[in-house]
A = this chain, B = another copy of it.
């Protein structure tokens, strides 16, 4: 019997995260204060982040120790298996070998706890009793509530109201882990009350939910804020994925020719690829591909310039490929990829040609998801299915070219909470939203010139 999964024991789990800042040919331009446009310092961030995470955010050390308490919680689901997708290969009649890392085997069903757990840990170490955060589709909020439970942290989640109403199961899961979930806009913050005063039927947005969570953290002494993507320390925590995969490829006696991951804020792509990108920076022949929805094509269509992380312009300005923070992408089902920009590190690496990017329309992504579900058995999340679509296209190209090639992608999670989207797909009701370039130009024209 041929091996399906390459596994590691807990003893073989990496003990350090990898910080790509140590090896980047060009580091990202500094984040700027949203008001003064001067580089932000630790003091600007300390009201809402613990100093240990601020230090990680600006660190250029190559390796950062993973605390023992974090490793113990990681071990509830880590190391995660590296799968050889033999059934998918067979279905595609490809000479390529396809591997995927399965990050959906933890109780929250996404890669997000890889950073939620250390963020909960460092906040607790700093004496923080409560975390305020936002969530859209609910993956990040779930990860934060799950992680808070281990450290006795109270977690309050501002959940975009339209998701709060459409995805009650995500809310109930967060409550089961002990979290407090408010539909955003809420009447618990000034930002929320103002939005409700202007429009009592406001369906909410991620930008507004961020504003509420940041305000909550800034106005409560025992409370900090936590973010699930984009930031340097978040990307670094996720490198446990790629570090494990490197050990697993060694065991398999193989090495990827191409690595693919869905890219929303960027932490998923960062996690799986950064340890391998170190090899590429050191001369290894390797392609890393960010896969985006064509309805929100940040890297493939955006502009490289300073922009805010949120619509309310409360976060620092960051140097990113952006569609403009006022660009509202169409309501695709891959909610985790509907972000107007990307992690500054990812953007710099893309700028420097170390990362490629492709984009796909939604129905093509669901075609790939269905093929994966019926060959490998796992119903993938819409976000993860972008990487699957990219991997399938690479495998078909290998077939055309008659080339043996090693393809590796990250399966960030299952699609159990996204079955309504599959229902729409099965019924033939799913549509591809067009990207509106004029809307992007308008949103970019509103950005400050720096």
Contact = CB atoms under 8 A, between A and B. Distances in A.
B426 A176 contact: yes
Interface string A76-112: 1000000100010000000000000000011101000
B1 A172 contact: no
Interface in A300-318: none
Contacts of A87: 150
A169 interface: yes
A203 interface: no
Contact of A419 (B5, B107, B173, B379): B173
Given A376-B76, A419-B173, A1 B5 contact: no
B379 A68 contact: no
B419 A176 contact: yes
Given A9-B7, A72-B1, A172 B426 contact: yes
A378 interface: yes
Contacts of A150: 87, 377
A178 interface: yes
A182 interface: no
A373 B75 contact: no
B7 A378 contact: no
A414 interface: yes
Interface residues of A, number: 48
A23 interface: no
A254 interface: no
B1 A107 contact: no
A153 to B, nearest CB: 12
Interface of A: 1-5, 7, 9-11, 68, 71-73, 75-76, 83, 87, 105-107, 109, 146, 149-150, 168-169, 172-173, 175-178, 370, 373-379, 414, 416-417, 419-420, 422-423, 426
Given A1-B72, A176-B419, A177-B374, 15 more contacts: A2-B72, A4-B75, A4-B76, A5-B75, A76-B377, A106-B377, A107-B379, A107-B414, A149-B374, A168-B420, A173-B419, A175-B423, A176-B379, A177-B377, A416-B417
12 contacts: A1-B75, A3-B11, A4-B10, A5-B75, A76-B83, A76-B377, A107-B379, A146-B377, A149-B375, A172-B419, A175-B423, A176-B419
